[in-house]
A = this chain, B = another copy of it.
């Protein structure tokens, strides 16, 4: 920063050059504008940081739920077993309860199981068409069969339901 030159030509003692004053005034205005800009950047960045944290948290939760989907698939497979003995039936019932408990926990957290029924409209966001297959009474681009359920979390697809679609 330049010091004012009180002994400059054309000034009296106790006075400074008007040009030096104007220069200082311009500098002060620049610093002030820089402060306004920095403060605005600060506020915007903090707002963004908060919404990014929320998004990162939802992504992290979604990632965990996605990891758990294959476990539910294993359950679903286990529950296709044909069990006739008494102890087998009892265990089967126990397994069904555990699977339902897991689905309940996920549902309470915002995870939805997507199980399209025959005749439902094909939804490209949450369904994946594995093949075209006609079925009586099912219009074009409607589901004729579901191979495996899909899952969404807060409207975001964790895994699409695998379906066959009427041609």
Contact = CB atoms under 8 A, between A and B. Distances in A.
A71 B101 contact: yes
A20 interface: yes
Classify the interface of chain A: helix, strand, loop or mixed: helix
Interface string A37-81: 011011001100110110011101101110110110011011001
B98 A78 contact: yes
Interface stretch (A89-97, A130-138, A144-152): A89-97
A108 to B, nearest CB: 8
A109 to B, nearest CB: 7
Interface of A: 1, 4, 6, 10-12, 14-21, 24-25, 27-28, 31-32, 34-35, 38-39, 41-42, 45-46, 49-50, 52-53, 56-58, 60-61, 63-65, 67-68, 70-71, 74-75, 77-78, 81-88, 90-92, 94-95, 97-98, 101-102, 105, 109
